[in-house]
Amino acid sequence: MAATTGPYKTRDTLSVRIQETMNFKRKLNKKGSAQDELEGSLEQATVELEYLRTHNTELAQLLESLREKYDILSTDYSIVNEELEIYKELERAVSSLSPQGSVSVEDFQTLLQHNKKLELALSSLRKVCEDAQESKAKTIELLNTKTSEFADLKESYEALNQRLEASELVIGQLQEELEISADLRLIIEYLTSENEQLQAKVSELTQSSTNRALFEESKDLKRKLAEGQSPNDTRQYEELILETKKLRVAHSQTSLSNGILSDSVKKLSTLTERLVPEEFKSQIKLIKLLKKSHAVVSSLLLQMQNFPISSLKFEACLSLLGLASSIELLECAAEFVHLNEQQDHETLEQAVSELESNLEKAMTRYIPTDIFTLDLSFAVKLIQITDEIADAFTTANSAHAKYTYSMFEADLSISVDVAKHISSTYTRDITALASVNKELAEFVSCGEALRAKAMSGKKQIIERPDEDLKCHIISYPRSSFISPVLIGDLKKIESEVGLEEDELVEIFSAPSFSWQDRMRLVKDYSAELPARPEFETQSHKSVYHVLSSMTREQIQETATTNPMMEAQIMEKTQKD
């Protein structure tokens, strides 16, 4: 019985637990439903709260606007009430002033008109006060602005003072450096003159030592001959004596030729002074000075062949070619200067004087074996002056065209030579620079073709000295030159000692070494040059034509005068 009761008891307990669980589930579901309802209510309450807040804000704004309107109405009411009180006081005052105790309508109207006049006066007074206040405010604002500007000016003044002090300090340092450089320049000039004197002494000593060696050799040969040496020694001595005599004869002939040439030059110069009229002497003197300067420049150009190829040599050759072309054009301007104003004559004289002075200084400092001593920095200024003179003076079109062709040819010649030097020295054997070598070859080919065109045009002008071009050829300004850029590039390469192949590739592959772009500029200018220039008879007469015409006229006068003189002499002889 006890065993049977145990399982039933367990089953009852389990059913109770299940029943409790079901009850809990129902309660939990109710709680969940209640929670959902509460969440819905909360959301609804939140929405309502937001709506109420918005509505509250609108009501607050409406309240604020109503308050403002109320304040305005209160103000208006106060004003009206004050006016009413004023009217009442006026009425009482009038009543008290009236002897009869009552005021008529006319009196009241008169009082009102008087009151209005007072109000107008008061309003005008208020306006004057307001204008005065406004003017005062503007004045204060202007004063504030001026004060601000004054503060800015004060700051600027202090900054300028600081800059001035710094500038004065820099100027003082520069003056010290300038004094030092001036002293150095004097020292350099002194050392240069000492060097020239020492070189002259070295040359004299070398010559004297050579002569002494020849004298000693001659004495030795005489001694050997006296001692009975072989016939070969005797023959050598005789040949030496013969060569010495030949050299003496050649030296004497050279001295004689130089003397004759010097005398001829002196006589020709005096002949020029005697034959040329006074009005053309200064003009002929200018031409002679320019021809002398041209001879010096031509001599320097020949000496450039003795120096090795370098950027310095190219730069010197470009300056000398530019000088030669400028001197030729200045010479042509001197030939036609009698057609220009006196002021132009003075301008040309000043340019020639500066050229002669600068060239003389350059030749004084120049050592023929040292290209670094050749200072041609004045060439750029002279070329600029020549361009200005060519545009301002009356000259032949052919002379201006010849100058243009010469400058164009000089730029192309130096550019082509620089390109050839770069190709043969730096880029030819580098495989990675095959495209650069191709551009260089095209540059050289195109440059030589354009140079040939310039030389052809120049040749046509030279072959027609008595004719002039019909048209004026455009100038080739120095700013368009490409050779200075190429020389600058070559200087950069030369300044880098021991460049490796990859460094050369990097340099020549840079955009600055675009040979095609450089040649394109020259091609564009070359297209402006006429292929076959047209000529005409010269419209202007040079000084040579003028002097030649004057000489012919004098000869004709002499030819007509001589027969008359001969007839007079014959007649006188017959009478005697």
- 3-state SS, 176-215, equals HHHHHHHHHHHHHHHHHHHHHHHHHHHHHHHHHHHHHHHH
Q: Is 406 helix (H, G, I), strand (E, B) or coil?
A: helix
CA-nearest of 485, 509, 371, 501 to 418 is 485
Q: Find out whether 337 and 314 touch, Cβ atoms under 8 Å.
A: no
pLDDT of 234 reads 59
Q: Find out whether 504 and 430 touch, Cβ atoms under 8 Å.
A: yes
Degrees to nearest 5, angle at CA 377 with 373 and 383: 140
Q: Is 483 helix (H, G, I), strand (E, B) or coil?
A: helix
Degrees to nearest 5, angle at CA 138 with 136 and 144: 105
In a domain, 110, yes or no: no
What residues contact 542, with CB distance under 8 A and at least 6 apart? 335, 336, 396
Backbone angles phi, psi at 468, to 5 degrees: -130, 150
- 394 and 445 assigned to the same domain: yes
d(CA 306, CA 369): 9
- 392 and 494 assigned to the same domain: yes
What residues contact 77, with CB distance under 8 A and at least 6 apart? none
pLDDT of 293 reads 85
In a domain, 217, yes or no: no
Write out the DSSP string of 311-380. Answer: HHHHHHHHHHHHHHHHHHHHHHHHHTGGGS-HHHHHHHHHHHHHHHHHHHHHHHH-BTTBGGG---TTHH
pLDDT of 276 reads 58
pLDDT tens string, the chain, 576 residues long: the values are 444 445 556 667 777 778 878 877 777 777 777 777 777 767 777 777 777 777 777 777 777 777 777 777 777 667 766 766 776 676 666 666 555 555 566 766 777 777 777 777 777 767 777 777 787 777 777 777 777 776 776 776 677 767 767 766 766 666 666 566 555 555 556 666 666 666 666 666 555 555 556 556 656 655 665 555 454 555 665 666 677 666 666 555 555 555 554 554 454 455 455 555 666 677 777 788 888 888 888 888 888 888 888 888 888 888 888 888 888 888 877 777 666 666 677 777 888 888 888 888 888 888 888 888 888 888 888 888 877 777 766 667 777 778 878 888 888 888 888 888 887 877 777 777 777 778 778 878 888 888 888 888 788 878 777 777 666 666 666 666 778 888 887 887 777 656 666 777 776 666 655 666 667 766 776 676 666 777 766 666 666 666 666 666 655 555 555 555 555 545 554 555
pLDDT of 539 reads 60
What residues contact 301, with CB distance under 8 A and at least 6 apart? 317, 320, 321, 324
pLDDT of 274 reads 53
d(CA 150, CA 144): 10
10 Å CB burial of residue 330 (0-12, 13-18, 19+) is buried
User: Which residue is listed with tokens 């070329």?
Assistant: 383
- 561 and 423 assigned to the same domain: no
User: Which residue is listed with tokens 């000398």?
Assistant: 320
- Containing domain of residue 360, as a range? 279-547
In a domain, 451, yes or no: yes
- 316 and 367 assigned to the same domain: yes
pLDDT of 63 reads 74
Count of structural domains, the chain: 3
In a domain, 117, yes or no: no
Q: Which residues pair with 370 in a beta bridge?
A: 367
Question: What are 532's two structure tokens?
Answer: 């076959």
In a domain, 390, yes or no: yes
In a domain, 353, yes or no: yes
d(CA 376, CA 359): 8
Secondary structure of 80-92 in HEC code, one letter for each residue: HHHHHHHHHHHHH
- 553 and 410 assigned to the same domain: no
- 288 and 429 assigned to the same domain: yes
- 348 and 435 assigned to the same domain: yes
10 Å CB burial of residue 366 (0-12, 13-18, 19+) is middle
- 464 and 575 assigned to the same domain: no
Q: Find out whether 313 and 304 touch, Cβ atoms under 8 Å.
A: yes
What residues contact 165, with CB distance under 8 A and at least 6 apart? none
Q: Find out whether 367 and 199 touch, Cβ atoms under 8 Å.
A: yes
